[in-house]
Chain A
């Protein structure tokens, strides 16, 4: 069974930083691309970032380019999202998504940016 478990969320002040992590299991992690997708409270889904199976890219939405950095460690089945210069409009539930012959979603981790 595919499992994606996100961690690292929390409350941070505007301008601050957070590092999200996602631990993957139940599939051959090193073969598949990974995504981060976010959902602001009561809103729809927004692509944030993605990375290929071997770490290629990463690719970013314009809204986070230059502030967020995605990386992966295939030896640990982990993917990370380093978020710097956070803004109030980054407040959202952040989902880790595996593109493993279909999209598998984690439960999400909440990031709140507020003073």
Chain B
């Protein structure tokens, strides 16, 4: 199975500042169809996960443009610009290029 390693595991941030989370894959996530199926999920306390970004950098419906994604191959980054209080929670990367889909271990963003 593909192993996704997130760093840091905990990220104290200041309101209004930026936060970045790294996700490194044990293998390239470039699919033979040319897409890279790397997504980012947010899980607020007591809530189910929700999709933020798919295919590395495509924001999902309703996701603020403060959230952005970058990367290719095995190295990916989620950046939260101008952190707000509602951004507190766990963030997971997820790959669906290779079966089975796998998740990073999660990064806790706290103010």
Contacts and interface: CB of A to CB of B under 8 A. Distances in A.
A41 interface: no
A11 interface: no
Contact of B48 (A47, A61, A105): A105
Nearest to B47: A107
B19 to A, nearest CB: 19
Interface residues of B, number: 19
Interface of A: 35, 44-47, 50, 59, 61, 95, 102-108
Interface of B: 39, 41, 48-51, 54, 60-61, 92, 94, 99-106
Contacts, number: 39
Contact of A95 (B48, B51, B94): B48
22 contacts: A44-B92, A44-B103, A44-B104, A44-B105, A45-B94, A45-B103, A45-B106, A46-B103, A47-B100, A59-B99, A61-B100, A95-B48, A102-B60, A102-B61, A103-B41, A103-B51, A103-B54, A104-B51, A105-B48, A106-B48, A107-B48, A108-B48
A35 B61 CA distance: 20
Contact of A105 (B49, B54, B99): B49
A50 B101 CA distance: 10
A9 to B, nearest CB: 14
